Amino acid sequence: MLALNSERDVQQVYYFLTILRALYLRDTRPHQWQAVNRLVSNLEERRGTKVWFFNQTYVVETLQHFGVLEFSEEEIQTVCGIFDSNAFESCETGRAPCRGLFLAASLINSSCLPNTRHFSTPSGSLVVVATRPIYPGGEILSCYTQPRWGTVTRHKHLLNTKYFSCSCPRCLDPSECGSLSSALRCPVESCSGGVVPPHSPVVQQGGGGDWACTRCGATVHQRKVLTVQTCGAQMVHTRSAGWWLVKAPNGKTCFVVICFFCLRNN
């Protein structure tokens, strides 16, 4: 009998049980098994990586420990790759986060300028709705990352988890189609412009260069930009965990405080 003492324990059980349910499709529902195996697994790209060894420990060896021996390690790792590359996460209130495969939705291509969004229903179904008009013949697009992330973060996430580099219009534009999602505020007090990279982080070569304000042209060294982004990301994660290390007098988040400190007081 398993002792589940925390939500993390529940998530780990969900993790390998979901893989096990998919594996049993091989013998119980062959047609569904064939459909699942047509999805991309990125098996060779994942081989020998941290996520490969994670699944080896928490899925392959766990199933073997409980006497599930009818599936090869290659089959188990393939299904793990299929889930990591195609599954949708459900985070309904009052339930531990879990994942599910939805074959039709898995065929929607990625774009950081999506025209759909999705949500889970209490019954476990996935609903995909259009967020702007999609005309006949138009491609249905979904964002495989978080749309609010900047290009560098989105690009890194896609490379590390989906094993491809996005070349949508937003990723190729230093200003991210005018959204300035990755931009920093200009260090010049009298300017309200945004500081952006000289080229898209997806296509730039040789490490890029100094960032420049879109209004006044003031530059910020690339190393300082990376410092600000790293500090900001750490503070966002810290805040989501329930900690507040720094607060401005007006109550704004510590991310804003750090950005202004790094750019204007160094």
Could you tell me the two tokens for 122?
């209490």
**pLDDT for position 201:** 73
In eight-state DSSP terms, residue 202 is T
Asked if residue 178 belongs to a domain, the reply is no
Strand-pairing partners, residue 88, are: 100
Q: Which domain holds residue 28?
A: 7-97
Q: How many angstroms separate the CA atoms of 78 and 266, rounded?
A: 50
Domain boundary, last residue among 97, 127, 156 = 97
Domain contains 171? no
Low-confidence ranges of the chain (pLDDT < 70): 1-10, 91-97, 203-208, 233, 235-266
pTM of the model: 0.77
Strands 219-220 and 116-120: unpaired
The CB density around residue 238, as the number of other CB atoms within 10 Å, is 15
How many domains are there within the chain? Answer: 2
91 belongs to a structural domain:
yes
Dist CA 261 CA 188 (whole Å)? 13
Boundary-marking domain end, from 97, 122, 146 = 97
Identify the pLDDT of residue 27. 95
Predicted local distance difference test score (pLDDT) of residue 257: 40
Which of 97, 126, 147 is the last residue in one of the domains?
97
Q: Could you tell me the sign of the dihedral formed by the alpha carbons of 38, 43, 46, 50, in that order?
A: positive
> Which of these, 261, 255, 174, lies nearest to 245 by C-alpha position?
255
Residue 42 lies in a domain: yes
Q: Is 234 left (phi over 0), alpha (psi -120 to 50) or beta?
A: alpha
Tell me what pLDDT residue 196 has.
87
Q: What is the pLDDT of residue 148?
A: 84
- In whole angstroms, give the CA distance from residue 173 to residue 192: 20
Instruction: Measure the CA–CA gap between 150 and 176, rounded to whole angstroms.
Output: 8
What whole-number distance in Å separates Cα of residue 222 and Cα of residue 212?
10
CB neighbours (10 Å) of residue 146? Answer: 11
% helix, strand, coil for the chain, step of 5: 40, 10, 45
Residue 185 pLDDT: 85
Q: Residue 146 domain-assigned? A: no
Alpha helix ranges (H) inside the chain: 7-23, 25-28, 30-37, 43-46, 50-55, 61-65, 73-86, 151-161, 169-172, 222-240, 254-264
Q: What is the C-alpha to C-alpha distance for residues 1 and 132, in angstroms, rounded to an integer?
A: 49
240 within some domain: yes
Residue 194, domain member (yes or no): yes
Backbone region of residue 137 per phi and psi (left: phi > 0; alpha: psi in -120 to 50; beta: other values): left
Task: Give the per-residue pLDDT at 203.
Answer: 66
Beta bridge partners of 117: 129
Give the three-class secondary structure for 1: coil
